[in-house]
Amino acid sequence: PIIPIRLGHQTTEFKEALSLETSDSEPPDKQPATAKWYDRRDSVFIEFLVEDSKDLQVKFEKSKLDFRCVGGIETLKHHNELDLFDSIDPNASKHKRTDRSVLCCLKKAEAGRAWPRLTKDKAKFQWLGVDFNNWKDWEDDSDEDLSSFDKFSEMMNTMGGEDGMPDLGMGGMEGLEEHDSDDEKMPDLE
């Protein structure tokens, strides 16, 4: 939206817009770190994506995680405080810092219980996402021993058709000759 501004002083519309922008946001030097998480049978993993983190503080409690650090290009202060979906064992939980991120392994107090979300609150956080590259539906153990390639091959074989390939319904096309545009002669350049 266009906000009218008079030279020499601010209009009330500009002051209202300015106060709305600054009142709801955290100070620019402190913000939550971007993170992604995934669930396993006995642990939950959360990776805070902060490059070159310094002054790292990770505190594990029975139902909370407190993450603080300074990092990134702008050396921003990051702070994430999470009320976890379920209980963890704070003494068995660990974290590891790399140049690109901080990975936390939260040891579940009750192994074998799936976490449908990371936090107790059902709210969605802009800074938090699911790590689909590492997510695994571990509750369904029947296919756990098959690799992704084996599953794909098995699916292709059960679809039917000759040589394990599906019949795509293109019968009657055997007599057609293939025409390749690369076979045509190029015109001479002048």
User: pTM value?
Assistant: 0.59
| Token pair belonging to 14 | 């500009």
Q: Which residues of the chain carry a pLDDT beneath 50?
A: 8-27, 142-153, 155-156, 159-176
Identify the bridge partners of residue 107 per DSSP, sorted by sequence position.
Answer: 43
Confidence (pLDDT) at 73 = 80
Confidence (pLDDT) at 59 = 97
Mean pLDDT of the chain: 75
Identify the bridge partners of residue 44 per DSSP, sorted by sequence position.
Answer: 39, 106
Residues of the chain with pLDDT > 90: what percent? 50
* Helical ranges in the chain per DSSP H: 12-23, 148-158
What phi and psi, each to the nearest 5 degrees, are found at residue 167? -80, 115
Identify which of 127, 108, 98 has the alpha carbon closest to the alpha carbon of residue 45: 108
Confidence (pLDDT) at 146 = 41
Look up residue 5 and give its amino acid. Answer: I
Give Cα separations from 108 to 14, 102, 123 (angstroms): 50, 19, 22
